[in-house]
Amino acid sequence: MSRYDKGMETRRAVLGDAHVDRAEANKTEFSKPFQSLITESAWGTVWASDNISRRERSMITLALLAATGNFEEIPMHIRATARTGATKTDVMEAFQHVAIYAGVPKANHAIKLAEATYAEMEAADK
């Protein structure tokens, strides 16, 4: 299996078919090389590795997104926890590490985004 195909398989397993289908539908000629890059490298290499669990990858990813102030992807990765096995407790532990090592304001904002996303997920399940 090619790294791109493995990436698409992993991306769908973590983010869900609906998310990936939307991303693919929105892909343009301009963004196509970037989408291929992240599919092959992020999803086909990093997320596809068996060296740590998807649960652990979710926690690391959320912590890194918060610590670097890349908040726009936090809701997407909170939704992914439903497939990776990272619990709300796991996510809070990751964000507490962010507070200590990268700053309370970043952790606080990430927690607010997580709470809002969890509320949306719970409402959708009803």
Task: Read off the CATH number of the domain in which 61 is found.
Answer: 1.20.1290.10
Task: Report percent pLDDT > 70 for the chain.
Answer: 100
Q: How many domains would you assign to the chain?
A: 2
pLDDT tens for 5-51 read: 999 999 999 999 999 999 999 999 999 999 999 999 999 999 999 99
CA torsion 35→37→43→45, rounded to 10°?
A: 170
CA distance 59 to 54: 9
63 and 8 both lie in a single domain = no
58 and 112 both lie in a single domain = yes
pTM of the model: 0.93
103 and 121 both lie in a single domain = yes
